Amino acid sequence: MNDSITTTGQLRQFLAAALIAVKSGEMGLDEAARITKLAAQINEGFYSELKAQKIAVEIGSAVTPLGELPIG
C-alpha cells in the first residue's frame, strides 16, 4: 500500500494490516493503540459529515460532496 489513504476501504485495509502486524510481533501494542485512536477520530469525522448531509437533505438544502463540508 502506498503512503496515502484516500478511501474508507484503504483505511480498513490499513487497520487490518496493523492488526496482523501486532499478531506477528512486527508492531507493538502502544503503536497499534495510537493508530486505532487516530482511526477512530477519522471515523468520527466521517460520521459527522454524513449526519450533516442527512440533515441537509431533510431540510432541502444543498448537499456538499464528501470531504468538502465547510468548517465554521
Alpha carbon separation from 21 to 18, 46, 52 (Å, rounded): 5, 26, 35
This prediction has a pTM of 0.70
Query: What does the pLDDT look like over 50-67, one tens digit per residue?
Result: 999 999 999 999 998 888
Are 39 and 31 contacting, i.e. CB atoms less than 8 angstroms apart? no
Rounded Cα distance between 60 and 72, Å, is: 20
* Whether residue 1 has pLDDT greater than 50: no
Question: Which region holds residue 30: left if phi is over 0, alpha if psi is between -120 and 50, else beta?
Answer: alpha
Query: What does the pLDDT look like over 8-46, one tens digit per residue?
Result: 888 889 999 999 999 999 999 999 999 989 989 988 988
